[in-house]
Structure 1
Amino acid sequence: MTDTATQPLAQIITARLTAALDPTHLVVTNDSHHHAGHLGDDGTGESHFTVEVVSPAFAGLSRVARQRLVNQALADLLKTRIHALAIRARAPGEG
């Protein structure tokens, strides 16, 4: 990947998911401030995130399969920089 360590992690997540899933809707929320001082807080302010993503790539897939696609796009970040990731993944037209 061509990500740089100087970019905010939310921007990197957005770019990765956009490239991998071509979403029609994507919101990346940094929830780290809710976890300050807790296990997994590395002090960077970029450790806990929520992603809301709507993509045609999810059509016909189970919730677990959708989460796997998101996790694959962010695999190296999940190993090194993201402690917790909440995923809300839907196909277009789903509530």
Structure 2
Amino acid sequence: MRRLLLFSGLVGALASCTTASESTTSTKPDRDPVAHSTIVECILYDGMTKTSPQLVTVTAGTEVQITDTVDYYFMKARVVKDGKTYSGYLQRQCFGK
């Protein structure tokens, strides 16, 4: 009898794990790019330091897509300039509050 209860408890636990993983609702927010305009001239860097290689200079008023807020100083961004798409890191100071 004890083994039967243990077995049925194990089957119930496995079934609940399977059901939870098949759920279609997600608690994670969508991470779609968000368009913002720069307020000053900025540099799109290849890395998250000012000594990283510079990809392109972004003029004030340029619309960029923020794809991730990486850390306190930099944000991952996508910029389209002269028909080319560049992905890199912009300083947060490029945008208003």
TM beyond 0.5: no
Q: Using structure 1 for the length normalisation, give the TM-score.
A: 0.23
Structure number with the higher strand fraction is 2
Structure number with the higher helix fraction is 1
If asked which structure has higher relative contact order (CA below 8 Å, sep 6+), I would say 1
